[in-house]
Structures are given as structure tokens and as C-alpha cells.
Chain A
Amino acid sequence: MADQPGILPPDNEAPEAPSAQEKVSKPRWGRRFWTIVIAIVIGIVVYAYAFDTTGVNLDEIQDPTRQASLVRILRAVAHPDLLTYQAVESNFDAQFMSPCPPDGFTPEPTEGSGPAITITPTCVEPGGDVTITGSGFDGNRRGDILYIASSGVEIRLGDFQTDQNGDFTEVVGTRERASDEPQTIRAVTAVTVGSIFRWQRVATIDPGTGEETMVMSPRISDSAWDTWDKIIETVFLAFIATTIGTIVAVPLSFFAARNLMKDIALPLMALTSGLLFGMIGIGAGLVMLRMTRSAADAFSGSVWVALALLVIVVAAMWYGVRWAMPQAEEDEPPPRVRAARLAVVVATAFGFVIALFLLAAVMKDVGGWLGVRLGPASFLGLFIESLGDILRLLVSGGIALVTGLVFMVIGSRLGTALRRRLPDRAVQPVNTLFSVLAGAAATVLLAQSIAWLYEITDPAKTLWWPALIGGLLGLGGSFLVRRNESVGIGLSVYYFSRTVFNGIRAIEPLVMVIIFVVWVGLGAFAGSIALALHTTAALAKLYSEQVESINTGPIEAIKATGATRMQTIIYAVAPQIVPPYISFTMYRWDINVRMSTIIGFAGGGGIGFLLQQNINLLNYRAAAVQMLAIAIVVASMDYVSSRLRERVV
């Protein structure tokens, strides 16, 4: 949070440059001195305030209890819970009497030379203290001292710690249990079996069933397995976000490139008729959507019918396109042929959408069928099924947008043509009419979306006033634009997309994920969407800056051959931006891997979820496993991506 040290001393030479030559440097020195003093004072004040607000407190650092906590955590982190060791317990019993029988008590001597404990005295009054002495143990071991009640229940009396020779002496209090029988005190040592260098099989007895099973010791701990699961999820989260973000960002980046957009200008008539047509196009797209969807749904009941129809539609489309869009065209064909071609193109567009819907239906069916039958690979079937779902969703959403765009282009072409055919004195009235209509329509559309957001239902506010205001704006606009001037629509698109990208980029994915968690629920899906959205905005901006820095020569050359704008982008721009695009995508993949490790903190799935849980449970050894995993993954991704970047650039 601490700000920069302060403000640089202002450049005080420029304003008084003329007088500086006349006077000697003495007064200038004085001024510079005071500037530096003031800058230092300001710097100190800024730092002081920063210390205060961020709560910099060196006492806390030196506080012994704080230091002890730090040491505890550091040690836990240094022992990540990767391996679980099987412990084998050994029991060493000794007997005593309580209370003392009249003739004393002599326990049976222990056999063999192994570790053993003795109790002195051999008999005490109930509740009295006894001394436990052990010998022959391993050096520096810890263990428990238990009292075995006559019921067989173990009661912990204390613990022991052997010295270097394996001996110990411990005084423990006995229980107040009087009995005629000898009572047992037990020393229990637990020895972990195996080591990282020597993996062993150990027999364990399940306390519930009493069954004996063989287990490995040491073995991979549960938290290590959980971490493995989640780190895979994390990597794929980053993968999905990066790929989807890239696919969306590439076309968008061209809209945010100043050098491509600045020349796009349209006559006002073309712009306004394009806008009007675009809105009509969205309506037409919705109608088309309904028609094509019902047509496709009628046939998608059976997979085979749908599949057969799909093949027929695709074949018809292929020949339709071949006929309607011949490869090379030297001369303009007669109007009749052009009209027929237009009809075929429209029919092909319908066929294309129907084919997409059919394809989606077929994918859903096939995916579902495979999902049940593939066994361990059933996720492939589920993937195909959800691809079908996504396709249907995309087509439904995209169709209105695409038809709107197509109509917009047609509208602006018609507007341009109209502008050229109209006699000069008719231009102004038609311009005015069009821009009033377009202004009103656009404002109403805007007002409707605002009304939806704020739940306004009053038609005066959502319809009539916006229409009036928009109409007036259009009227004013039509008089502002001179007759032969074009409207620089490209720059407007440039500024708009720039602003949107910067806005989205400014919101951290960690914050975005909160909204998506509300929408699609906790988990990696919400994280992928949030990360993909942020990636799209960030990459689109980075990409567009690359487009802006390309060599303009080839663009000029391709333009001069009579290429369309689209062809110019494909042939002059695209080859130049491939290396930087790949390099930026790699860089983003890097960022996304890092981001996906913490996106779980906000509920976005991945390893962050586990890490946060373990930190909150103060389970630092498990958290250390996750930190380790993150470090390994991030470092190796970093390495791989930098190697790949070297390769392509």
C-alpha cells in the first residue's frame, strides 16, 4: 500500500529559461535547494501516513509469542503432509498390587533381555505414587504410560522420554482402585515403520473388524491425494480459460486497434440506414431462430433421421455455395443471376443454421449414448453431449447478433448507394429523416435495456421520452455533419471496445468469480468463466496493441491490389501478428495458472479451495502440501511456456 516516496522535484528550468541566461546560477541554486527540501518533507509525510494506515508495527515482529507462532507455522510448512507412516506399537507391562497384601508382592520376573519396566515399590495404597523405571529401550524415544483397569480400559497416567541409553525413570500417581489381584501398568512405544528410502509393508489390525490387512509404510497421505486431484483441476481450469479467452479475443482485438479502425468512415446516410437495418436484422434473426429451431426439432427425435438430414443439408449447402459464390469473377453477372444467387445464399444460411441445430441434437444423443457405455472413458461422451448443448446455446444466442450484423452491412451498403444516386438537394432531407429514425430507435433500445436493469415499467420513461430525445439528437447530428463528410464510425468502435476491455480488465477475476458463483454455483466452472472473461479482455487489449505496432507497408500494398478490408486483415495483418499473439497467449496461460491457484479462495474451484480450507482449520502441514504443489506447477509452467515462446518467436 505504501506509495512512492513522493513527488519528483518539478522541472524548474523550463519556465524561466530566458532569464536563466542573464542571472548567474546562485538564485537557481537556492530554488533547487528548497524544491528538494520540500520534496523530502512531502516524501516523509506520505511515508508516515502510509505507515499509519497500513499499521506497520515493528513491536509485533519482535514479540516472543508472535515469533513462536511464526516458528510453528514455518516448521509445519517445512514438513508438508506428503507421507503417512504406519506406527507399530509395542507394549511393556509390569504388575503391582494395591493395596499392599500382608505378605508383600513380588511380580514375576520378565523374560528375555529386551526392553522392560519395573515398578517400585511393588505395592502401594490406592492413589499412591509409584516410580516406573525402564531400561533397554531405544534412545531418545517418547512413549505413554498407561494404567490397565480390570475392565481392560486403558487410562493414561503420563508419558516418558528415554535418555541416550534408552533408560527412563518416571513417577506417576496410581488410580484409587483397590483390588486383590495384581494390577498392570503398561509402557507403550510407537515406532513408525519404514522411511522415505525404505518402503515396507506392515500388517495392521482394523480396530472395528479385527481384520488384518497389509499396508505400505510410508504411503502417500490423503492430503497429498486431494492436492493431486485439485491441482489437475487447477491446470485444466487455466487451460479452458486461456483457450476460450484466446479464441474470443483474437477477432475482438481488431476492433481495438487504432490503425485498422481509424480509416473506417461512412457517409451519414450509410451509417443511419445501417443502424436501422441492423435493428431490423436482430428482429429477423429472432424469427429465423424460431423457424430453424422448430424445423430442426421436428426432425431431431431420432438420431438416424437427424443424421441423414444433416448430411443432406450439408451437401446441399456445399453445392449452393459453390454455385452462388464462384471462385473468380471478372465481370458483373446479370441482375437475374444475382437475384437467384442471393436467394440461394439466404436459403443456404437457413440450411446452415438448421444443420447446426441438427448437429447439436445429434451430438447430444450420441454423447448421451456413449456416456452410458464407455465406462472409464464416459467423460468423452459427456463432453460430446455438453458440446452439443453449448453449440445449441451459441447458435441461439449468436443468430440474432449475426443477422443483425449482416443486415447492418447490407443497410450501410444500400445507404452508400442511395447517397450516390440521390440528387444533391435531396440528400439533406433524407439524411435528416434517417438520422432522426436511427437516433430514436437506438435510444429506445438503450432505454429498454436500462429499464430492464432498473425494472422501470412506465412507457413514458422507457419509450416516448427516449424516442423524442433520440430523434432530436439524430436531428442535431444530421445538421452537424456536412454533406460530403463521412462519420468516423471506426474510431467510435475503437474507443468503445477499448473502454469495455479496460473496464473488464480492471476487475480482478477473484472479484468476478463471486458473481459467477452466484450464477452457476461453487466450483471450477464459475472459476473458468471468470478467468476466461478476464483473459478475453486482457488479451484483446494486448493483442490490439500488437496490431497497432505492425509494419504498415504490407497493408498499403495489399490494399492497393483492390483487396477488401477483410482480405487485407487476413493477408497483411495476420501473418505479422502470429508470433506476438502466440507469445502473449503463453504469457496469459502463465498468469492464468497462477490465478487459478487462488481463485478457489472466492469459491472458483481449483487448489485454492483446499488451501483456504486447510489454512482456516490451522492445518498448516496439509496447506504446505498445496503450497508446494502450486510452486511446482507454476514454476514448471513458467519454464515450459518460456521455452515454447523462445521456439515460436
Chain B
Amino acid sequence: MLKVEHLTKIYDDGTVALDDVSFEVPDGQFLAIIGLSGSGKSTLLRCINRLIEPTDGRIIWNDVDITAAGQEDMRKIRRRIGMVFQHFNLVHRSKVITNVMSGRLGYVNPAMSIVNRFPKSTIEKAHQQLERVGLEEKANNRADELSGGQQQRVGVARALMQDPEMILADEPVASLDPVLAHGIMQHLESINHDDGVMVLCSLHFLDLVHRYADKAVALKDGKVVFEGPPKSIDDERFKEIYGKEAERIG
């Protein structure tokens, strides 16, 4: 169970990115976060694993207050939260397998990992994850030799290396074409269904929200303007979320 309570983020320049955001996500749910660009979706996801420090409010996950965790504790929490990014955020010049294994960095011995030594079990696990996303034969390619869809699958494999209990996906398909988008979303769906991992995914296209999400939270100017099942987003709600001039395209 993830509880977000009165979460507020005000950046140094005075921008209010999140304004008193509260919602709950039960274990095993696939939550879609929707809203216009700049509505605070990315900030919200990054506040949950504290890549961005929230200004106020609390995030409670399995009865642990993430916002109050110290540096060491935060590392331990983060290693159970996988993250997938819009721009994949792979290390281009490293090999695919290294990118995948880096998902395990929170678990392995820091001293050994600095000289690039991973335990055998980690290496095997990395190959298994690559197999799961169908990229086993690309293990020794450089990451930037892969296509966009393949890179995002590597990103998913990296998140899976963490044995995550929660996955934060920040517009994971926004830079991919519709076919590839479904491929990636299906991977996330399988992680959610088969492994029972909670998924928080920000999305642009409503058809993807309808197709994959159990619940949707809509943000507008940092405020929650909708919370409920995706099906209940009708035209009126849509205009509330995306503004009066918006047209539905999907």
C-alpha cells in the first residue's frame, strides 16, 4: 500500500509543481497518471523515490515514511523501486548487459562493483531478464546500437534486476511508435499481473490508459483533478483534465 499525503513541491524558482496531492495505491495495482505536459506527473513520480525532494507532505509505503528516510535508508528503499524513463536513460557507451546489471547496484558490494566485478548470480540474473524482454542476443552490444524500442526494453530489464515491489514509469512510451508502445506496455502489464508489482505509470494516450490501467489519477497544474477508474473519463471529464480546447485523439 502506497499512501501519498498532502504532497507539495515548490521549486527554488517558486514554481508550484505539486499542490497538496493525496491518493492511495493498493498493492498490485496498475495506476495511470495523466495530465498535460507540465502538470506535475514527472515531479510526482520522482518525489516517490525522492530523486526530487518534496517540499511538504508525506509518502508512506508499507507503513514506512519515505519522506523521512535518511540517506542510507533511502538507498535501501530505492533498490526496491524500479524506474523506467521516457528517454530510457541508458548509459550509451556501456554494454547492454552492464546497463542491465547496473540495476543491481543497490544490492551488490560497493567496493567490488567499483572495479566492475559482479557476482555470478547477478550476471545470470541479468541474462534472464534480457531473455524475458527478448534481447538475449544483444547482451554484448553497446546500448546506443539498439533501436528506441529495444533500449526501452533494456530499461525495463534494468528495473526488473532490482526485484522491485513498485515500478515508476515516467511516460515510458512517449518516444516510441504505437506498435512498440504496446510492446513495452505489455511488459509492464506482465510485471504487474504475474509478479504482483505495483506500477505507477504516467501516460499521454487515453487508449493506453483504458487498455492497461486499473485506476487513473489526473493532475492539472499540480492538483489532483480526477481519481477513479479510467472508464469513467468521459468527454466532460476529459475537458476538465486537458482544458476546453483539447480534442480527443485516442
Contact = CB atoms under 8 A, between A and B. Distances in A.
Contact of A572 (B72, B76, B91, B161): B91
B178 interface: no
A553 B155 CA distance: 12
Interface in B78-108: 78-83, 85, 87-94, 98, 102-108
B91 A563 contact: no
B93 A576 contact: yes
B122 interface: yes
Contact of B112 (A327, A557, A578): A327
B121 interface: yes
B153 interface: no
Interface residues of B, number: 48
Contact of A562 (B70, B105, B112, B121): B105
Interface string A547-572: 00001011011111111101100111
Contact of A563 (B49, B102, B116, B122): B102
Contacts, number: 109
B89 A557 contact: yes
Contact of A327 (B51, B76, B89, B109): B109
Contacts of B116: 570
B114 A566 contact: yes
Given A420-B70, A557-B83, A576-B93, A328 B107 contact: yes
Contact of A561 (B72, B85, B119, B162): B162
A89 interface: no
Contacts of B70: 416-417, 420
Contacts of A111: none
Contacts of B161: 561
B15 interface: no
B89 A554 contact: yes
Nearest to A578: B93
Interface string A393-419: 000000000000000000001001100
Interface string A320-351: 01000111111000000000000000000000
A417 B71 CA distance: 10
A416 B121 CA distance: 34
A547 B81 CA distance: 27
B113 A570 contact: yes
A589 to B, nearest CB: 23
B231 interface: no
A567 B158 CA distance: 15
Q: Which label, helix, strand, loop or mixed, suits the secondary structure of the A interface?
A: helix
A109 interface: no
B26 interface: no
B114 A416 contact: no
Contact of A576 (B88, B91, B102): B91
A572 B99 CA distance: 9
B104 A561 contact: yes
A112 interface: no
B175 to A, nearest CB: 12
A73 to B, nearest CB: 53
Listed residue (A328, A558, A561, A567) with the most chain B CB atoms within 10 angstroms of its CB? A561
Nearest to B77: A562
Given A325-B112, A327-B112, A553 B89 contact: yes
B246 interface: no
Nearest to A568: B105
Contacts of A326: 109
A561 B102 contact: yes
Interface in B184-202: none
Contact of B102 (A416, A564, A571): A571
A79 to B, nearest CB: 53
Contacts of B98: 571
A579 B51 CA distance: 28
Interface string A81-92: 000000000000
Given A556-B85, A556-B89, A561 B110 contact: no
A266 B29 CA distance: 36
A557 B91 CA distance: 9
Interface residues of A, number: 32
A327 B108 contact: yes
Given A553-B89, A557-B89, A325 B83 contact: no
B119 A327 contact: yes
Contacts of B239: none
A327 to B, nearest CB: 4
B93 A575 contact: yes
Interface in B93-144: 93-94, 98, 102-114, 116-119, 121-122
Contacts of B211: none
B85 A416 contact: no
A330 B155 CA distance: 23
Contact of B106 (A420, A556, A563, A575): A563
A564 B75 contact: yes
A330 B162 CA distance: 12
B152 to A, nearest CB: 12
Contact of A330 (B77, B102, B107, B112): B107
Contacts of A417: 70
A456 B75 CA distance: 49
A16 to B, nearest CB: 30
**Which residue, A327, A417, A551, has most C-beta atoms of chain B within 10 A?**
A327
Contacts of B90: 554, 557
Contact of A329 (B51, B75, B81, B107): B107
Interface in A427-475: none
Given A325-B112, A556-B51, A570-B114, A561 B106 contact: yes
A325 B102 CA distance: 19
A572 B105 CA distance: 12
A643 to B, nearest CB: 21
A33 B77 CA distance: 68
Contacts of B77: 562
B146 to A, nearest CB: 15
Nearest to B155: A557
Nearest to A419: B70
B109 A561 contact: no
Given A557-B90, A563-B105, 6 more contacts: A326-B109, A327-B112, A561-B78, A562-B107, A566-B114, A570-B116
Interface of A: 321, 325-330, 413, 416-417, 420, 551, 553-554, 556-564, 566-567, 570-572, 575-576, 578-579
Interface of B: 49, 51, 70-72, 75-83, 85, 87-94, 98, 102-114, 116-119, 121-122, 155, 158, 161-162, 168
10 contacts: A325-B111, A328-B121, A329-B107, A554-B89, A560-B78, A561-B82, A562-B76, A571-B91, A571-B113, A575-B91
